A and B are shown apart, each in its own frame.
Chain A
Amino acid sequence: MDDSIRFIMEDLSGPLLQGTLASLKLIVCSVPFGLALGFMLASGWVYGNKPVSWLCRTYVALVKGTPLLILLFIIYFCLPSFGLTLSPFFASVLGFIMCNGAYNSEYIRGAILSVRSGQLIAARSLGMSRAQAIISIVMPQAARRALPGCSNEIIYLVKYSSLAYILSYIELTGAGKMIATRSFRFTLVFSIIGLVYLVMVTIASIIFMWLEKKLAVPGFEAKRQ
């Protein structure tokens, strides 16, 4: 027991802290672009002309059908053949953005469709351009409705960030794996890593609940199951 505590304090805490920071870096770099991609795909799907809409639909179907790990392998191992070599970090972030964007777009699309189409017509009749009406009338409402779904996806992203380890980017899981193989204390190390992930996921869900409450417009609260 004493030995375990000394092991945790001396050998484990430093690398795990670095690993946690590396994981956070991955997540923080992916989330904003994933949301942006989701918005672009969703508006392209709903409002785009035929080819744009088809392109967005196909992209979402392809990315959702491919395991994220294979997407990461394609980005990391295949792109160099086309002259684009990415570091493990950028390859993972690109993969996370592509995957997260595709899933987000589904929620945002649903949210856009749930805004009454009369509002768009009313905004147009007030002299707004189509783009203006979408950006300042439809999107603020759709974003609020899509938030619960997107926050789920971001929590998935926290967990999927562990896949960057397979592209040899040393984040939390990778750092733990290295120590565990050196010390043979697999159960202890991975239990602690699991706890760190649980803490990250719990904090993320608290932040999103707070954000949802903060952004709620009185009288327009989404019904939560």
Chain B
Amino acid sequence: MQNALIILESLPNIAWGLFTTLGLVITALAVGLAVGLPLGVIQVYWGNSLFSRPIAIYVWFLRGLPSLVLLFLFYYGLFPLLGVDLPPFFVGAAVLGLRSSAYQSQIFRGAILSVDQGQMQAARSLGMSKPCAIENVILPQALRIALPAWSNEYPILLTDSSVCYAIGVMEMLTRASLQVSRTRAPVPLYLATAVIFIIMNYIGMRILRSAERRFHIPGFGGS
């Protein structure tokens, strides 16, 4: 009974963090898409240009480091060194987004490779330029193929966003732990936070699944 009261009392404060968490996730997804998609395209179609080695190192670096170390490196190290004073939220969103861009570039690379390369030749022989063929022939198919794997980035980012707790972003876990130090009742509050995360995960996945069905072309490969 007392637990219910504590949850009821603290929940508005914790739930307010939902906006911060969602803000982190959506910004990171957008940054990841905006950076990851060009990287994937360059890796496939300009594979032996001078970009390929830096991109490979970028991906290896961002995939090989724990997000906690990346957060500390950017928040305490790189940004202050460059003289940029960003609030923790933007650092968190930027780090999660860049990290996601490394993963997303590989998702898009795989999806582009799974489009039959004869189509590229056909488009070129019809007089399309390479960027034009990529934009109008390859990507509309590749993005549909990538969608199921891409939707997996949502739960990954959602769960990883709580790591921003370590640099003091006021997302749900930070708020929950503040409420815990106020009420000294860890059991109901952390469990309630976990439940909120699970519900958000479920809702997001439902939306993405329906998007997959929406964009699916009948008779076309993929799921």
The reply to whether chain A is a binding partner of chain B is yes
Contact, CB under 8 Å: A70 / B186: no
Contact with B along A188-221 (1 / 0, CB 8 A): 1111011001100110000000000000000000
Q: How far is the CA of A12 from the CA of B193 in the complex (A)?
A: 37
CB <8 Å contact, A186 and B76: yes
Q: How many A-B residue pairs have CB under 8 A?
A: 115
Chain A residues touching B, majority SS: helix
User: Which residues of A, 141-182, contact B by the 8 Å Cβ criterion?
Assistant: 158-163, 165-166, 173, 176-177, 180
Give Cα distance in the complex from A187 to B80, angstroms.
9
Interface size on B, residues (CB 8 A): 40
| A156 smallest CB distance to B (angstroms) | 9
**A132–B158 Cα gap in the complex (Å)?**
41
Does B72 belong to the interface (CB within 8 Å)?
Answer: yes
Contact yes or no, B69 A73, CB < 8 A: no
Asked if A36 is at the interface of the complex by the 8 Å CB criterion, the answer is no
Report the contact-size class of chain A (Cβ under 8 Å from the partner).
Answer: 35 or more
* A contact residues vs B (CB 8 Å cutoff): 61-62, 64-71, 73-74, 77-78, 81, 158-163, 165-166, 173, 176-177, 180, 186-191, 193-194, 197-198, 201-202, 225
Shortest beta-carbon contacts, A-B, top 3: A187-B77, A186-B76, A65-B198
Give me 20 other A-B pairs in contact (C-beta within 8 A), A70-B197, A73-B177 excluded.
Answer: A62-B198, A65-B155, A65-B159, A65-B194, A68-B159, A69-B165, A71-B194, A73-B176, A73-B190, A78-B187, A81-B186, A163-B66, A166-B165, A176-B72, A187-B77, A188-B77, A191-B73, A197-B64, A202-B64, A225-B110
